[in-house]
Every structure is written in structure tokens, then in C-alpha cells.
Structure 1
Amino acid sequence: MSVKENLAKIQADINEICGRVGRNPKEINIVAVTKYVSLETTEAALNAGLSHIGENRAEAAVQKWHALQNRGIWHFIGSLQTRKVKEITGKFDYLHSLDRLSLAKEVDKRLGDGQVMKCFVQVNVSKEESKSGLSPAEVIPFIKELVEYKGIQVVGLMTMAPFYKDPEQTRPVFQKLRELRDDVHSLKLEHAPCTELSMGMSNDYGIAVEEGATFIRIGSALVGRE
């Protein structure tokens, strides 16, 4: 199936889920995870009507960004080394993996005057050793410390659920992230409105949408792997 056909199927799934749980499908942003596919397939995603592009390797992503002449809204979705920050600032609109003060400091330093990076704080809800991110208990103290970095805006929280054959098993992870997002949002911090939830991938995006995801990161089910 083409990217356009895959997108139509995913959008139909989202529409059905939103109708069932009382959400507006327009609240759901589909991020096409193009890290494993070619420039041509990334361009096909944009041509299919997608605007959000997700990459996790700075050098390759920047090459695509230049080749596509700044089309789309770019998301850095993987672990980001501080030495790579300078490559993505000014090009990427969102960072989904903010998990340490040293990274926040470097992003803030590399941004131009008045520039802001929209950030998701990464939370390791499932406490898997193989995954990056803060523990739920660390999130609010960490976000409060970010106030000194004027270029950092915490728009929401991100997590990666464990892979289960039965996606229903991911529900507690997504529920926990939503509850934590609500706790941060209730603090009414100017630098951290924290209204968004980046959660759900190809195998579990349906459960994530049911639990409040506003950004879902879809790779293989949308653009395949090459």
C-alpha cells in the first residue's frame, strides 16, 4: 500500500475511535516517523498531506530537511546528544526527548534570540531499563527547574510503552502519562503549559488515542521500512 493509502486507513481508525470516546479527530496530530525510510518516501508522506515529520538521527535528518527545502514541521523524537543540538536548532520545531538539564541548557544556548523549542519531557513510565526518560516522580521537580531556560517551552509529556502483542496492555502506561500531564498542567507554569501528550506508535496508537494522545508517532504502519 502507498503512504497515502496507509494514511487513509489510519485516519479512518482515528475517526472511529474518536467517535466512540467523544474526542475531536482534529486534536490528533500524526507524526510520520521517517527515520528508516528514504528521502523519496519522506517526500511522499508530505505529498500525501502529512505535515509532521519525525526523525531521530541528526545528521541524516538535516540532510532531508535541506533536500525538502524546509517543508513540513519537524520533530526530533530520539535521544539527542548535546553535541548534536547545534545541528537541529533552527530547523526542528519540536523535541520529544527532553530528559536532562544539560540538554535543556544546550538547546537554550543554541537557539537564536526570541527562538523557542517546543519540548516534550520524556517519561519512562514503564520503568524499563532499556528506555530513556525520567521517572514519574522526577518530572515535576525537573520541569520547575527549566524556568531559567527561556528558549525551552514544555508543551507536553512523551513516553514509549513496552511492545505487547495485545495493545490493550499498554493502557496503564498511557493513563499514567495523562494523569501526570494533568498534574503539570494544573500548576499553570508559564514556561510549561503542558497540554500535549506524545504517545502511541504503529502497534498501539489506538489505545493511546483513547487515553488522550495528541501526537502519535507512526512509522512502519504509515511509511513502512526500507
Structure 2
Amino acid sequence: MKIISTNIAEPTKIRFNGKEVLTGIYKTPTTNPIFLGHELVKGDEVSDRKHHGGIFKACYLFSADYYAYWKNLYPNLDWNWGMLGENITVSGLDETQLRIGDIYKVGHALVQITQPREPCFKFGVKFGNQGVLQQFIEHGHPGTYVRVLEEGLVAVGDTFELVEQAKNSLTTAAFFEMLYAKDKNQDHLSLALKNDALPLKKREKLATFKKND
């Protein structure tokens, strides 16, 4: 996996259901390296601290490989890297290969795969269509958030080197599918509940879907 673009956002006001809110989803490419901090990317707007940023969502990665898919669906949008709201656009990012808990060295930082993006209304506002949320779920390639174990600068051209593969884990794609499945795969659910690369609140919520053996 290789960094194609690093992206940050200024705070942007949007309106939804008659209310004005701030968002950091309108990210654009930077010309300089970005600094991955333990809770956010330095200089990047994180307006909704309840759902974005923090230890388990310090930085969001999305695959450059799927831009063609989204451009085909929304050809009239103003396309550039960062359009999917990602801090880092990565070539070769494959959610069917990434495992929750995997640790990678990239640039001067050490990061751990945590959880996929779950799209919200702000994503729909940006694309001019709230139906894009279901399209995003059905496409099944949500990118991933990472936890920053060692802070540092990353830049275009840096590659992700696997340092440690998570044991007894599940892929980001399998986890994403399980999140939205009505009948959740119980084996996958068991793996997720034991994985401390996922935040405790997420695991506690998932535990309510566990069936008694």
C-alpha cells in the first residue's frame, strides 16, 4: 500500500434538516507531509468529536482504487483526492486483506487498523444525495480508521509496511458486513468482541447481538 495523497480540511458549514452544522468532511490534498497525532491529524478539522477523531479514529484511510467507481456514479461532482473524506488516500488498500488490529509502519508513524467508516448524513450532504449512504454500505469498501501508536509525519510516496499481523481477528470487510447485517455472523461477532483494537463502546454495543450458545 502506498500513499497517493494526504488531505486535510478547514471547518465548513452545511445545512441539514433546517439546522446548520460544522463538518470536516470537505478535505483537499496538501502539498506538505501531515502529522499523525494520537487523537487527530494535526491541522485537520474534526467538528464532531463524538463520532470522529479520538484514539480509535485518529486518521481515516480510503483506497484510491475505488475512486473510479464513485466517479462513475457521481460524474458531476468536483473530484479530487480527499473526496471520500479521507486523510490519506492509499493505492492498494484492500479491506478483504486488512485485519482489525494489524500494525503498520508508514513514514515516521506506527498505526493500527481499527474500524471501518460508517457513513453519516454529512456524507450525503457532500454528495447531494442521502442515498449515497446505502450505496456506500452496499459497495462494501469503507476504508478504515487507524489508531496512532507512534506519532509522526507521513507523506505522499510513503508505503505501509506490515509490522505485526493481528491474530484471531477478522478483516475490515467482514467486520463492515457484520455491522449492517440483520443476522450477524456469530463467529465474526465473537472475534470482534475479543479484539481490543476496537473501542470498548463499540464492543459493548455489538455484545447485545450475541446469541447464547
Q: TM-score, normalised by structure 1?
A: 0.26
More strand by share: 2
Bigger relative contact order (CA 8 A; separation at least 6): 2
